[in-house]
Amino acid sequence: MRYLPLHFDLKDRQVLVVGGGELARRKVDLLLKTEARIHLVAPDIDARLQERLGQAPHQLTLGKYHSAQIRDSALVIAATSEPRVNTQVAEDARANNIPVNVVDAPDLCTVTFPAILDREPLLISVGSGATSPVLTRYVRELIEQVIPAAFSDLAKYLAGRRARLIQTLTQVKQRRRQMEDFLDSPGMALAMQRQDAKADDYLFATSPAPVSGEVYMVGAGPGDPDLLTLKALHLMQKADIVLYDNLVSPGVLERTRRDATREFVGKRSGNQSTRQEDINNLLVRLAREGHRVLRLKGGDPLIFGRMGEEIAALIEHQIPFQIVPGITAASGCAAAAGIPLTHRDMAQSVRMLMGHPRDGQVNLPWKEFSHDNETLVFYMGLGGLATICQQLLAHGRAADTPIAVISKGTRPDQQILKATLETMPGLVARTQIQTPTLIIVGEVVNFP
Ligand code: SAH
């Protein structure tokens, strides 16, 4: 290991930056997040840099760099476009044993800038000794997925409780144990939600933390696992039991924790689906047993997801839960098909509707759908497609109104059919189209 990663306390220390252009500005922007005093030297200084460094404790010197300016600096950065000047700065710094970074010249550096994941006060830095900045940024993005933004609140909470913890638990070993238990307890999530007082019950628990389960209601999106939210991914890694249904794609399910128990609670073709009441009871029982239960639902759990009933059961039994939204089929399919759901000229509103037929009828207020400047999105509408088209025609929509049927949107085997209200039922009957399918009606379908 040639480079030792260290976190440098720059409070009230001077950092010399040589250079006044774009390269210098990027470094200055980063340095301004610290409490360093910046001294910038350059013959020409970018207006934005002047604005940022125009006042105390910072200092601007217009003119050429002189070796003497390096004195009293804790860190030196050479960011000019002139290799000769950069080399001179690097040599001076080395001669004075001052750490130096030269932008885009790793050979001249004694320190390099890592890619940073900022969850202040938690900082994660990734470096490759400046050999591959693209790779380090990529790795940082991977880490970003597992360290959500709320870690910042957690780190702040723990920083604020440090003194009290040292006072309460005098032995290092005790404290470490308590902290480990805390990070495994629901207290961690509480601190991340800024419920500090409740988190204290776990951090300062005198007896072992109470074993209490919780439920995560998580939107799995329309199928493409890259459309999961960071928060969804985080909870998917945390839960030890996963309850999922039909709409959760295999690619998404694969992102749940390897050793988690996965239980299917949906409807397999032809078979009876698990009764909603049984799912409610199962959630309550598993959480009571102390499990972290992930309830994974396709799309957004709050849209046609019957989540109200599950939440009511959790509230009734006082089980803690969190809801994480997901990308709903309308958004996912529209994006995949390049269809804007609203458009300045074509559609000023969008409605999400349930197209599922009951006793051969789709019961909807059809009269309200006569305006051609509104986009209609039907969920669960394949079985009712003919009725939907018929009703819209009967209620004033033109025969050539564009309609799209999107099957398995955002998945590798996605299919998109476009036709008119008049021709779509026939087209679908001739095509072996598979569920899940989403129907979009309106001028926007023909966009652009
Ligand atoms: N909560 C879900 C909707 C559940 S209702 C969401 O927000 O997306 C189930 C219906 O969603 C399906 O019948 C279908 O109309 C639609 N749907 C879900 N995923 C889909 C996909 N990948 N492609 C097309 N339609 C989808």
Convert the pLDDT of each residue in 273-328 to its tens digit: 788 999 999 999 999 998 999 999 999 999 999 899 999 999 999 999 999 999 99
Sign, CA torsion 114/118/123/124: negative
β pairing state of 73-78 and 59-62: unpaired
pLDDT of residue 271: 64
Could you read off the pLDDT of 360-413 as tens digits, one per residue? Answer: 889 999 999 999 999 999 999 999 999 999 999 999 999 999 999 999 999 999
In ligand 1, the atom with minimum distance to the C-alpha of 297 is 1
Amino acid at 128: S
267 labelled catalytic: yes
Our mutation pick for probing the ligand 1 site, out of 229, 244, 247, 297, counting the most ligand atoms within 8 A of Cβ, is: 247
Check pocket membership of 224 for ligand 1, CB cut-off 6 A.
no
pLDDT of residue 59: 96
Q: Considering the candidates 245, 297, 300, 408, report the single residue annotated as catalytic.
A: 245
Polymer length in residues for the chain: 448
Phi, psi (degrees; rounded to nearest 5) at 438: -125, 140
Q: Where are the alpha helices (DSSP H) in 292-398?
A: 307-316, 329-337, 385-394
245 labelled catalytic: yes
Check pocket membership of 304 for ligand 1, CB cut-off 6 A.
yes
Check pocket membership of 299 for ligand 1, CB cut-off 6 A.
yes
Q: Considering the candidates 72, 267, 278, 400, report the single residue annotated as catalytic.
A: 267
Amino acid at 27: K
Check pocket membership of 378 for ligand 1, CB cut-off 6 A.
no
pLDDT of residue 211: 55
Whether the upstream peptide bond of residue 208 has omega within 30° of 0, thus cis, is no
DSSP secondary structure string, 95-123? HTT--EEETT-GGG-SS-PPEEEEETTEE
What domains sit in the chain, N to C, each tagged with a CATH number?
Answer: 14-113 (3.40.50.720), 151-203 (no CATH), 214-327 (3.40.1010.10), 331-446 (3.30.950.10)
pLDDT of residue 185: 84
Q: Please state, in angstroms and rounded to a whole number, the distance separating the CA atoms of residues 323 and 207.
A: 30
pLDDT of residue 282: 96
Which residues are within 8 A (CB) of 290 and not within 5 positions of it... i.e. 6 or more apart? 211, 212, 213
Check pocket membership of 382 for ligand 1, CB cut-off 6 A.
no
Whether the upstream peptide bond of residue 250 has omega within 30° of 0, thus cis, is no
What spacing in Å lies between the alpha carbon of 179 and ligand 1's midpoint? 42
Picking from 383, 372, 387, 391, the residue whose alpha carbon sits closest to that of residue 434 is 383
pLDDT of residue 207: 64
Which residue ranges of the chain lie beneath pLDDT 50? 209
Picking from 79, 179, 374, the residue whose alpha carbon sits closest to that of residue 188 is 179
For 59, the 3-state DSSP assignment is: strand
Q: What does each C-alpha distance from 183 to 177, 195, 208, 310 come to in angstroms? A: 10, 15, 13, 27
